[in-house]
Chain A
């Protein structure tokens, strides 16, 4: 039985049978991948076809360090982005981009933004003085009242209130963002 790495060597020598085997082995996944990216069968077929024609054209100079599967995956990835650029220059295709691609992209974007906001809150929190941070965490994460915090830390309620005010003022913008994001995600 011939393995994929044997086929790479054979393709380099111009063996069309090996090339066809390689096509048949990887076509379903690569086609499904391009189709998922682009949302159109003809564009997906164009991308995979171009990748294979280009592979054949450069067969003698082929320098694949990893697996052929990984090489083809990367090639389809890159060619699909180029195809996306081409699609977005066709006014008649913009509805498809708007309906098929943008919602997925914006969903990923919102998740990335929410991670950023929570990271930023943690960063800002870490920069607060220890006592302020401790009071804020007791209030917001352990849900203790001002009276309870004051008793636990042996401070006056006024001090606790002031420290909470400082923490909230520092974190205000990021907390507001987090609330908005939480509402969108939930």
Chain B
């Protein structure tokens, strides 16, 4: 039975991102993602992790501070 290895998976991901995946390759990756969505479990530290990420985002999106020359 054929089993995919990392090199083949890497090729599949590259094909997918460049829009060159075969229908079967795209289905495989989409099924993997669908399964991840269905089976996801919110980790107990999600809230704490979220605070950290939000602080990072806030810094990134903050308008640049203008320095005033005296």
Cβ of B41: which chain A residues have Cβ within 8 Å of it? 32, 36
B-side interface residues, number (CB < 8 Å): 39
Other-chain residue from A29, A41, A110 in contact with B49 (beta carbon distance below 8 A): A41
Fill in one digit per residue for A19-50: 1 if any B CB lies within 8 Å of its CB, else 0: 11001100111011101110001000100110
Nearest Cβ distance between residue A126 and chain B, in whole angstroms?
22
Q: Is the CB of B32 within 8 A of A104?
A: yes
Residue of B nearest to A106 (CB): B3
Contact of A36 among B39, B47, B50 (CB under 8 A): B39
A32 touches B40 (CB 8 A): yes
In Å, the complex CA distance between A9 and B13 comes to 35
A37-B36 in contact given A32-B42, A32-B46, A81-B17 (Cβ < 8 Å): yes
A27-B57 in contact (CB<8A)? no
Residues of B within 8 A of A82 (CB): 17
How far is B2's CA from A184's CA once the two chains are assembled, in angstroms?
12
Task: List the B residue with the shortest CB-CB distance to A73.
Answer: B37
A180–B40 alpha-carbon span in the complex (Å) = 31
A105 near B9 with CB under 8 A, answer yes
B16: chain A residues within 8 A (beta carbon): 81
Please state if A97 and B9 are interface contacts (CB–CB under 8 Å).
yes
Interface string of A66-82 (1 = CB under 8 A from B): 00000001000100111
> In the assembly, what is the distance between CA of A56 and CA of B24, in Å?
35
Q: Tell whether, in the assembled complex, residue A106 and residue B60 are in contact, meaning their CB atoms are under 8 Å apart.
A: no
* Interfacial residues, chain B to chain A (CB-CB below 8 A): 1-6, 9-10, 13-14, 16-17, 24, 27-29, 31-33, 35-37, 39-43, 46-47, 49-50, 52-54, 56-58, 60-61
